[in-house]
């Protein structure tokens, strides 16, 4: 059968999920949200599975870790993919809202989901949605820097992400409680921040009251990630 396979990988230092997706028919693959320190792990796995890496794809400009994208591009020659609203320099492909990226016999759809950052992009493929730091399992990404907006987060999730079928599997950018994935139905029903029982004005009010620590790696991660994870010129 011609289908998409998903492998979830984890970075213990920053609690980041990286995803390896591949087309089972053509063995073409892509990585979503690689982490610099895990590049060798990811490339070893791709080799072990006999896959052909085509793209490294990012959900947003991360503040908590440096992406492995530029390093992987240097080592393998693959294309770096970002959403078109990120403001990132040096990517090979910038995807607009609703634009498709071909992966073997399949297409990945970019969905502009601003809120955590102004350029956040989620990706949908065959029953899976990769929500980055926009929608978490039982939570939502912070909205207090990088063009963040709680109003935008609410609209992105309720007007765009929640429009996908209830059975769609949600794969987030992080989880701090040991959960690996969820579904649209579960998040609509029980996400305490943004489930269907929460009104937009309450979400915005709740977000405005949250005090969150300054990310440890912010000052090195954001400038590097604005250049696809390039750490030196
Ligand atoms: Fe983030």
- pLDDT for 61 beyond 90: yes
Residue 186 CA to ligand 1 centre (angstroms): 22
Residue 124 CA to ligand 1 centre (angstroms): 18
In tens, the pLDDT along 35-56 reads 999 999 999 999 999 999 999 9
Beta bridge partners of 17: 10
How far, rounded to the nearest angstrom, does the alpha carbon of residue 143 sit from its chain's CA centroid?
15
In tens, the pLDDT along 161-172 reads 999 999 999 999
Q: For position 231, what pLDDT does the model report?
A: 87
Report the mean per-residue pLDDT for the chain.
Answer: 97
Residue 64 CA to ligand 1 centre (angstroms): 7
Residue 103 CA to ligand 1 centre (angstroms): 25
- pLDDT for 220 beyond 80: yes
What CATH number was assigned to the domain covering residues 4-211? 3.60.15.10
How far, rounded to the nearest angstrom, does the alpha carbon of residue 191 sit from its chain's CA centroid?
18
Q: For position 1, what pLDDT does the model report?
A: 55
Q: Closest by alpha carbon to 186, among 176, 199, 172?
A: 172
Q: For position 232, what pLDDT does the model report?
A: 77
Residue 158 CA to ligand 1 centre (angstroms): 19
Residue 56 CA to ligand 1 centre (angstroms): 17
Residue 32 CA to ligand 1 centre (angstroms): 13
Residue 11 CA to ligand 1 centre (angstroms): 14
- pLDDT for 2 beyond 70: no
Residue 2 CA to ligand 1 centre (angstroms): 33
Residue 40 CA to ligand 1 centre (angstroms): 22
Q: For a pLDDT cut of 90, what percent of the chain falls above it? A: 97
Residue 105 CA to ligand 1 centre (angstroms): 30
Q: Name the pTM for this structure.
A: 0.97
- pLDDT for 233 beyond 80: no
In tens, the pLDDT along 115-147 reads 999 999 999 999 999 999 999 999 999 999 999
């Amino acid at each position: 059968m011609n289908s998409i396979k998903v492998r979830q990988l984890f970075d213990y230092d920053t609690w980041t999920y990286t995803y390896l997706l591949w087309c089972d028919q053509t063995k073409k693959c892509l990585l979503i949200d690689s982490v610099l320190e895990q590049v060798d792990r990811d490339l070893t796995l791709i080799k072990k599975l006999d896959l052909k890496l085509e793209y490294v794809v990012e959900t947003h400009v991360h503040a908590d870790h440096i992406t492995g994208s530029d390093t992987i591009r240097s080592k393998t020659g693959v294309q770096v993919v970002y959403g078109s609203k990120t403001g990132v320099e040096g990517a090979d492909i910038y995807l607009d809202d609703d634009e498709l990226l071909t992966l073997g016999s399949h297409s990945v759809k970019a969905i502009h989901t601003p809120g955590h950052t102004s350029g956040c992009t989620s990706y949908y493929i065959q029953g899976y949605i990769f929500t980055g730091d926009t929608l978490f399992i039982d939570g939502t990404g912070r909205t207090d820097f990088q063009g963040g907006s709680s109003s935008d987060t609410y609209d992105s999730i309720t007007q765009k992400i929640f429009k996908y079928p209830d059975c769609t599997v949600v794969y987030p950018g992080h989880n701090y409680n040991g959960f690996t994935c969820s579904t649209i139905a579960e998040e609509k029903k029980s996400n305490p921040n943004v489930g269907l029982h929460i009104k937009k004005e309450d979400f915005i009010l709740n977000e405005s009251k949250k005090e969150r620590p300054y990310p440890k790696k912010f000052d090195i991660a954001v400038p590097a990630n604005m250049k696809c994870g390039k750490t030196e010129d």
